[in-house]
């Protein structure tokens, strides 16, 4: 029984730490590809069957983009909202500072790494408890 528990903890520690590092690298790549986003105040126009958000960028230019269905539901009844727009692009915005994909990948990496650390610590604790 002790050998089986040791093997399980060893597998969890290697898989957790290894996968945590790999998924962490994927999160880092996604963060880099996501680019720079700047905050601004957007004006919301509810036109016919779509929602259009317009804003001024850092260079004084005007940006405009059609909101997705989920964004339109969050912006329903609003005339202005705090948004984040993509630096260098005048047709991309979002309602959160960080990308949901980057956030989910980073949390997955942290969870896997935590699994590895807990399994590693448990194996060391068992090593000294049995001695």
44-84 per-position pLDDT tens digit: 998 888 999 999 988 889 999 999 999 999 998 889 999 99
Mean pLDDT of the chain: 92
pLDDT of residue 18: 96
Q: Is the pLDDT of residue 131 over 80?
A: no
- Residue 22 CA to residue 106 CA, distance in Å, equals 11
- Residue 66 CA to residue 94 CA, distance in Å, equals 11
Range(s) of the domain holding residue 14 = 2-130
For residues 74-101, average pLDDT: 90
Contacts of residue 57, defined as CB under 8 A and 6 or more positions apart, other chains included, come to 38, 40, 63, 85, 90
* Number of domains into which the chain is organized: 1
pLDDT tens digit sequence for 22-47: 999 999 999 999 989 999 999 999 88
Q: For residue 63, give the 3-state DSSP assignment.
A: strand
Q: Is the pLDDT of residue 1 over 80?
A: no
Contacts of residue 55, defined as CB under 8 A and 6 or more positions apart, other chains included, come to 40, 41, 42, 43, 62, 63, 64, 83, 85, 93
Contacts of residue 16, defined as CB under 8 A and 6 or more positions apart, other chains included, come to 112, 113, 114, 115, 116, 117, 118, 119
For residue 92, list its beta bridge partners.
Answer: none
pLDDT of residue 46: 87
Q: What is the pTM of this model?
A: 0.78
């Amino acid at each position: 029984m002790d050998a089986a528990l040791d093997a399980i903890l060893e597998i969890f520690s290697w898989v957790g730490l290894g996968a945590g590092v790999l998924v962490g690298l994927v999160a880092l790549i996604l963060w880099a590809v996501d680019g720079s986003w700047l905050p601004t105040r957007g004006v919301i126009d509810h036109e016919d069957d779509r929602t259009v958000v317009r804003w001024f960028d850092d260079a004084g230019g005007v940006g405009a983009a059609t909101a997705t269905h989920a964004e339109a539901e969050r912006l329903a009844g609003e005339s202005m909202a705090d948004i984040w727009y993509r630096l260098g692009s005048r047709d991309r915005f979002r309602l959160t500072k960080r990308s949901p994909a980057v956030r989910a990948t980073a949390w997955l990496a942290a969870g896997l790494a935590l699994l590895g650390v807990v399994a590693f610590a448990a194996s060391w604790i068992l090593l000294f408890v049995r001695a």
